[in-house]
Structure 1
Amino acid sequence: MNTRDMQDEILRLKRENDICILAHAYQSQDIWEAADYVGDSFGLSRKAAEAPQKTMLMCGVRFMAETVKILSPEKTVLLSHSQAGCPMADQADKDLILQMKEMYPGYTVVAYINTTAETKTACDICVTSSSAVRIIRKLENPNILFLPDCNLGDWVAKQVPEKNLRLVRGGCPTHLRMTAKDVEKAREAHPGALLLAHPECHPSVTALADYVGSTTGILSYAETSENNEFLIGTENSIVQHLQFQYPDKRFYPLSKDCVCHNMKLTTLADVYNCVKGAGGEEIHLDPDTIAGAGRCIDAMLRLGNEP
């Protein structure tokens, strides 16, 4: 069976078995082409809640599948590969958050969406990389405890200097592989290219970027920019996707090492096995966890939708 044959079978089986395929932006192009929706983790969760199918297949990592379950508790939610986790999401557990709240009483605890469902139950509100600045700016409390990504937190703090952000040490090991030295080398090789960087990058990288934003923000910037060359400072699969979408433009990875091994665990064959009922892991969350984490996400939706 070749790639096209397997994709055709996936398309047939997902219709036959009432399955909606959600593919995170860091999945490979062959999986993108078989998916119903492609995007960032929270955007996919909202699409899942609106989708008519009864089974959601998340091609991503565990916290993303948990978020789908939180927003759609009545649906069956599958994770495409049981070992696909997120090292950053595991850096701040519930016990740590409870200890930090004792150390910083009166602080509003803001969790990046890249956290486990259990961790979210101890937090006040979630944010995404695209909504963090807007939401934190709207919080009445000037004192913020931000976790777990201190690089995203540092970038947010610079955009919202009127707030007092305490950062819990943590971050994305994939994005941390990129350095200012990589920027220097890449610009020497491609002097006309604009650097588009994710805020999970180290501050020394984002300080040199022409644009800093979420994965979907980077995709949108590349689409609308009149420039024809770009250095991509996020997971390297985005380079491939942009090459497919805009073949008349040139895209270069900021670093060959910016690869998320957890995202790469899922293959097209894994997706095929999932839709035929022979693969994946069903996500189960107890009602208290769904309610507690849901409260954190609901707060983000409420504040994010306010003008």
Structure 2
Amino acid sequence: MTASATHADGQVGDRVDAGPTDADLTPYGGVEANEAWREEVRRLAAEQDAVVLAHNYQLPEIQDVAHHAGDSLALSRIAAESTASTIIFCGVHFMAETAKILSPDKRVLIPDERAGCSLADSITADELRAWKAEHPGAVVVSYVNTTAAVKAETDICCTSSNAVDVVASIPADREVLFLPDQFLGAHVQRETGRDNLHIWAGECHVHAGINGTELAARAAAAPDADLFIHPECGCATSALYLAGEGAVPAEKVKILSTGGMLDAARETSATSVLVATEVGMLHQLRQAAPEVDFRAVNDRASCRYMKMITPAALLRCLREGLDEVHVDPDTADQARNAVRRMIEIGRPGGGE
């Protein structure tokens, strides 16, 4: 069973670079993440009635100072439920946009507005409208890693935590357009068995660069290790192939969101785990299960966009009120129902 794929601009490849190298995207620096910095961040947040949210791929010091750390779905829920008047979103731009969509009356800040996302950039609202025109009546499921404009053209959003549940909730006779991540889409199709699921050929350049050859070599060198594989990874199919061929025991291969990885880390009986996702996740995993040896399948899989949220950027944001995120009210209104439906479906998404 294969899904149709519409090719976005850019190439699907074995890349491990983490985004742009232009000098104008150099992260803010010059601030040490010491105890004085942590106290100042918390003092300013309290003074401004702000809640600081950090994605699991953020720098360890940013994760540790935040009020809440988690995956996209967990942080979306926290942002929607928070009574704070200001949300400081330490992540990439689409995440802060999502918080603004859910909380239009709150001030939403991202410590560096230049922190974008290669996956979100792989489809535009115009491209989605054209795709919808080719499949009238199809249900559009957009990964939360999309712009507000794309969400406004979407029926229901999802994250890697609940993508399978979201698609399974759609009547079996309805066509589904799944976007933009082709690897997550392939995972959803495997799990649901749908033959009317059409998948956009986008990718996260960091996850796509974690390849099957590398995974196979690491697994062969550590035969007792569990494998935690994010479904955005280019190696997810290879992991299942290794299990099917008996090269790796099937019970050791776990396709998981970042929140699911935390749950699995607390439950695993393995003494070592190979992790296929952005390397920032290792910090949360090691905190959740310090007795387990967590190692990256690809230790170069670091997202430069995520790492633009530095201690200096966070302090600048709190001191100067920069950078505020705005979403056109009409766009936000159209996107809100799709995001709210995402929040209502599936497992909590792993926060804290």
TM-score normalised to structure 1 length: 0.94
C-alpha distance in 2, partners of 1:2/1:86? Answer: 25
For 1:21, the equivalent position in structure 2 comes to: 52
For 2:263, the equivalent position in structure 1 comes to: 220
What's the CA shift for 1:68? Answer: 0.2
For 1:266, the equivalent position in structure 2 comes to: 309
What's the CA shift for 1:214? Answer: 0.5
For 2:74, the equivalent position in structure 1 comes to: 43
CA contact (8 A) 1:179 1:204 kept: no
Compare relative contact order (CA 8 Å, sep 6+) and give the higher one, 1 or 2: 2
SS of the residue 2:54 aligns to: strand
SS of the residue 2:270 aligns to: coil
C-alpha distance in 1, partners of 2:233/2:58? Answer: 19
Counting only pairs closer than 5 Å after superposition, residues 67-146 of structure 1 correspond to structure 2 as 67-140=98-171, 141-146=173-178
Letter of the structure 1 residue corresponding to residue 232 of structure 2: E
Letter of the structure 1 residue corresponding to residue 328 of structure 2: D
CA contact (8 A) 1:76 1:282 kept: yes
What's the CA shift for 1:240? Answer: 2.8
SS of the residue 2:287 aligns to: helix
C-alpha distance in 2, partners of 1:294/1:240? Answer: 32
C-alpha distance in 2, partners of 1:36/1:302? Answer: 23
What's the CA shift for 1:111? Answer: 0.6
SS of the residue 2:283 aligns to: helix
Counting only pairs closer than 5 Å after superposition, residues 198-217 of structure 1 correspond to structure 2 as 198-202=230-234, 203-207=236-240, 208=242, 210-217=253-260
TM-score normalised to structure 2 length: 0.82
SS of the residue 1:33 aligns to: helix
Change (3 A) 1:187 1:303: closer
Instruction: Show CA shifts across 1:46-72 (max 9, x none).
Output: 212222211100000000000000111
Higher mean displacement: 170-179 or 160-169 = 160-169
What's the CA shift for 1:256? Answer: 1.7
What's the CA shift for 1:86? Answer: 0.6
SS of the residue 1:241 aligns to: helix
Q: After TM superposition, which residue ranges in structure 1, 4 or more long, deviate above 6 angstroms?
A: none
For 1:293, the equivalent position in structure 2 comes to: 335
SS of the residue 1:288 aligns to: helix
For 1:249, the equivalent position in structure 2 comes to: 292
What's the CA shift for 1:303? Answer: 5.2
C-alpha distance in 2, partners of 1:42/1:63? Answer: 13
For 2:87, the equivalent position in structure 1 comes to: 56
C-alpha distance in 1, partners of 2:340/2:290? Answer: 39
What's the CA shift for 1:301? Answer: 3.9
Q: Which runs of 5+ in 1 are unaligned?
A: none
What's the CA shift for 1:163? Answer: 4.6
Higher mean displacement: 210-219 or 238-247 = 238-247
Higher mean displacement: 43-52 or 81-90 = 43-52
Letter of the structure 1 residue corresponding to residue 86 of structure 2: T
Instruction: Show CA shifts across 1:18-61 (max 9, x none).
Output: 11100001011111111011111232122122222111000000
CA contact (8 A) 1:42 1:64 kept: no
For 2:7, the equivalent position in structure 1 comes to: none
CA contact (8 A) 1:142 1:162 kept: no
What's the CA shift for 1:304? Answer: 4.8
For 2:15, the equivalent position in structure 1 comes to: none
What is the total number of aligned residue pairs between the two structures? 304
Higher mean displacement: 86-95 or 155-164 = 155-164
Change (3 A) 1:88 1:161: same
What's the CA shift for 1:195? Answer: 0.7
For 2:184, the equivalent position in structure 1 comes to: 152
What's the CA shift for 1:206? Answer: 4.1
C-alpha distance in 1, partners of 2:239/2:313? Answer: 35
For 1:231, the equivalent position in structure 2 comes to: 274
Change (3 A) 1:21 1:159: same
C-alpha distance in 2, partners of 1:22/1:58? Answer: 5
How well do the aligned residues superpose, as a CA RMSD in angstroms? 1.7
What's the CA shift for 1:249? Answer: 1.2
